[in-house]
Amino acid sequence: MNKLIEIKNVRHTYQTQNGPLPVLDGLNVSVPEGGFAAVVGPSGCGKSTLTRLIAGLMKPDEGEVWLHGERVKGPRSTVGMAFQNPVLLEWRTILQNVVLPLEIVPTKLNRKQQEDRARYLLSLVGLDGFEDKRPSELSGGMRQRASLCRALVHSPDVLILDEPFGALDAFTREDLWQTMHQVKEKEPFTGVLITHDLRESIFLADQVIVLSGRPARTQFLLDVPNTGRRTLDDLYTVQATEMLHTLRHQIEIAQGRAAA
């Protein structure tokens, strides 16, 4: 299949006050079109650096990042991002927040069509009726839903999610996982999800990439079998438990607490 995201042998070192700090060393990731990859790994192993590389916010010291057969040299409007912090603009309504990317990227939509598109996405994530509210009037989970709509409004090829559900309580998080599946059915995208939650990784992704401890390289790849539409019950099957166990073991290796 066509590889949409291709990261080849990426090496990157930050220059800090305490000398050079290598974060990525021999990282390889490839995600086919329409695929959804979850990246897990120990804290501080360079996962967020990976998202910034894909988004073109920074360049790697060595190696190549390709999107859609084009080498990434800088930011590109075909990327959508959502973070753990929903970073909604408090002075805008929810609708105006979602429209924001369309004010930056070139678009053929007029103002009315832009708002219609935003309304459609908001209804898709269950936020109809909240268009004219301010972010401060919404709960954490709702803000994260709005942030997701903003990341999708310009129909990006690539959706980068940097621990978007990390700050939510367990039940809200599970609600949002299901929302993600519904959204992906209607608004297909190729996704990279950074997460610390192994259950989240196998519930959402079709490929889980385990990074080693710093400096990070690709340590392990797990393909999550496609079983059609997933439900939360699927997390309580024998296969799911086996996958989680495998991943858990790999994380321990990455943390240096278990032998390979």
Partner 1 sequence: MRLRSFLTPLIAVVVFLVLWEALVWVMGWPDYKMASPSDLGPAYTRYWELFLVMGWQTLWRTVVGLLLAIVVGVMFGMVMGFSRTMRDALYPLLVGFNAVPKATVVPIVALMFVGMHDFNTVLIAFMISFFPIAVSISIGLSTLEPEYRDILRSLGASQTTIFWKIALPKTLPEFFGALKVAVTLAFIGTNLMEIVSPHGRGLGALFDSGKTNSDYPLMFAVLIALAFLGIVLYYVVVALEKIFAGWAERQPG
Show the binding pattern over residues 185-224: x = contacts partner 1 (CB under 8 A), - = does not. Answer: ----------------------------------------
**Minimum separation from the CB atom of position 105 to partner 1 (A):** 5
Looking at the Cβ atoms of 79 and 194, the one nearer to partner 1 is 79
Q: What are 244's two structure tokens? A: 């989680």
The residue within the footprint of partner 1, chosen from 12, 117, 154, 173 (CB under 8 A), is: 154
**Minimum separation from the CB atom of position 157 to partner 1 (A):** 13
The span from the CA of 16 to the CA of 14, in Å, is 6
- Binders of partner 1 among residues 108 to 147 (CB under 8 A) are 134, 136
Under the binding rule (CB under 8 A), the answer on residue 105 touching partner 1 is yes
The span from the CA of 210 to the CA of 156, in Å, is 25
Paired strand residues for 18: none
Under the binding rule (CB under 8 A), the answer on residue 55 touching partner 1 is yes
- Cα 177 to chain centroid, rounded: 12
* CA-based nearest residue to 218, from 71, 11, 34: 11
Side chain identity, residue 29: V
Separation of first and last alpha carbons in the chain: 31
**Minimum separation from the CB atom of position 100 to partner 1 (A):** 7
Looking at the Cβ atoms of 151 and 240, the one nearer to partner 1 is 151
Under the binding rule (CB under 8 A), the answer on residue 77 touching partner 1 is yes
The DSSP string of 68-106 is: TTEE--S--TTEEEEESS----TTS-HHHHHHHHHHHS-
**Minimum separation from the CB atom of position 99 to partner 1 (A):** 12
Under the binding rule (CB under 8 A), the answer on residue 56 touching partner 1 is yes
Residue given tokens 């690709």 in the structure block: 218
For CA atoms 40, 138, 123, 90, the dihedral sign is negative
Under the binding rule (CB under 8 A), the answer on residue 167 touching partner 1 is no
Side chain identity, residue 207: Q
Q: Of 99-107, 121-129, 163-171, 184-192, which segment contacts partner 1 by CB under 8 A?
A: 99-107
- Cα 238 to chain centroid, rounded: 27
Looking at the Cβ atoms of 133 and 249, the one nearer to partner 1 is 133
**Minimum separation from the CB atom of position 146 to partner 1 (A):** 13
Residues lying near partner 1 in the complex (CB under 8 A) are found at 52, 55-57, 74-77, 79, 81, 83, 85, 87, 89-91, 100-101, 103-105, 134, 136, 150, 154, 160
